[in-house]
């Protein structure tokens, strides 16, 4: 069934690269990849690089801009926050919500994450909901329980269309920036579990439309293997996306997966 879902790779640059550095990156990356056909690419720079990136990517099909965060409020007295309308105005099409760094370093709760997903949908920005268990939770055999709770609390109450327009990224916390990855079987088991939980929250037709990404120590060397799993439709890449050539290799691997 995975042929129904277009593959999608995303680069989360986190708090790296100035706007000038992003400009140089994009020039190099676009030279390397040449055509984008079989795979959607989402580039997720810092807020300060969004205007320039938006300008440079405006005429390029298949490459979309994402933001790393979004305010849960529409507008008003929320100093330092960035609203959905501000992102839309820059042609931002996707937004990371609930990344493990936001959950663990900035105290984001599932309730806040739910509110952010709601506002993103209202402004037609597609959420990339990030979920994943810590090492402690996995060792205690609780990973499915954690994933189910994260999904339920973040995604209850949305329409089938909104759910179909959501990407869910499974990023085990212990695999982020560590060089450790789950085995292919472990990764597929988690993604299959995520898809069946999504079917309970919607229905099986909708769950089959939702794209699932794996994230955590993805490299050009392991991309193809992850993408061979029936329920993994893409990868969300941190460190290995900071070099345009390396991320272009990941893109090429994904195109041939
Ligand atoms: P790494 O690819 O550096 O492990 O980071 C993964 C990540 O957090 C992407 O959102």
CA neighbor of 7 nearest in space, from 234, 255, 182, 239: 234
Our answer to whether residue 171 is catalytic in this structure is yes
Residue 141 has pLDDT above 70, yes or no: yes
Ligand 1 mutation target, pool 217, 222, 226, 243, most atoms within 8 A of CB: 217
31: domain range?
2-255
Residue 53 has pLDDT above 50, yes or no: yes
CA neighbor of 190 nearest in space, from 174, 206, 166: 174
Q: Pocket around ligand 1: residues whose beta carbon is below 6 Å from it?
A: 12, 99, 171, 176-177, 215-218, 236-240
- The pLDDT assigned to 256 comes to 87
CA separation, residue 104 to residues 99, 107, 205 (Å): 9, 6, 33
Q: Give the active site residue among 101, 133, 137, 171.
A: 171
- The per-residue pLDDT of the chain, averaged, comes to 96
Q: Give Cβ neighbours of residue 245 (< 8 Å, ≥ 6 apart).
A: 28, 32
- Model's pTM, two decimal places? 0.97
Report phi then psi at 191, rounded to 5: -65, -40
Residue 104 has pLDDT above 60, yes or no: yes
Residue whose Cα lies nearest atom 9 of ligand 1: it is 238
Tell me the CATH number at 118: 3.20.20.70
Q: How many domains does the chain have?
A: 1
In ligand 1, the atom with minimum distance to the C-alpha of 101 is 8
CA neighbor of 150 nearest in space, from 136, 137, 164, 165: 137
Encode pLDDT of 177-219 as tens digits: 999 999 999 999 999 999 999 999 999 999 999 999 999 999 9
Cα 11 to ligand 1 centre (Å): 9
Our answer to whether residue 99 is catalytic in this structure is yes
In ligand 1, the atom with minimum distance to the C-alpha of 216 is 4
Residues 85/129, Cβ–Cβ less than 8 Å: no
Report phi then psi at 83, rounded to 5: -90, 165
């Amino acid at each position: 069934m995975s042929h129904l879902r277009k593959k999608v790779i995303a680069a989360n640059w986190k708090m790296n690269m100035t706007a000038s550095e992003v400009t140089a990156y994009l020039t190099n990356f676009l030279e390397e990849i040449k055509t984008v056909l079989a795979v959607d690419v989402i580039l997720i720079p810092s807020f300060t690089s969004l205007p320039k990136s938006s300008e440079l990517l405006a005429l390029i099909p298949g490459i979309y801009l994402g933001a790393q965060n979004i305010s849960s409020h529409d507008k008003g007295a929320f100093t330092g926050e960035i609203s959905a309308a501000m992102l839309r105005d820059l042609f931002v099409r996707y937004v990371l919500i609930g990344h493990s760094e936001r959950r663990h370093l900035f105290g984001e709760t599932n309730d806040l994450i739910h509110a952010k997903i709601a506002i993103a949908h209202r402004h037609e920005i597609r959420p990339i909901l990030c979920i994943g268990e810590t090492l402690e939770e996995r060792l205690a055999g609780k990973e499915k329980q954690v994933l189910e709770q994260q999904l339920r609390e973040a995604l209850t109450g949305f329409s089938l269309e909104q759910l179909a327009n959501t990407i869910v990224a499974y990023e085990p916390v212990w695999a982020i920036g560590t060089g450790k990855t789950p085995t292919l079987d472990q990764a597929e088991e988690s993604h299959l579990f995520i898809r069946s939980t999504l079917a309970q929250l919607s229905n099986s037709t909708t769950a089959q439309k939702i794209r699932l990404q794996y994230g955590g120590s993805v490299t050009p060397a392991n991309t193809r293997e992850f993408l061979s799993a029936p329920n993994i439709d893409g990868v969300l890449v941190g460190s290995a996306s900071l070099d345009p050539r390396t991320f272009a290799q990941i893109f090429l691997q994904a195109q041939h997966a």
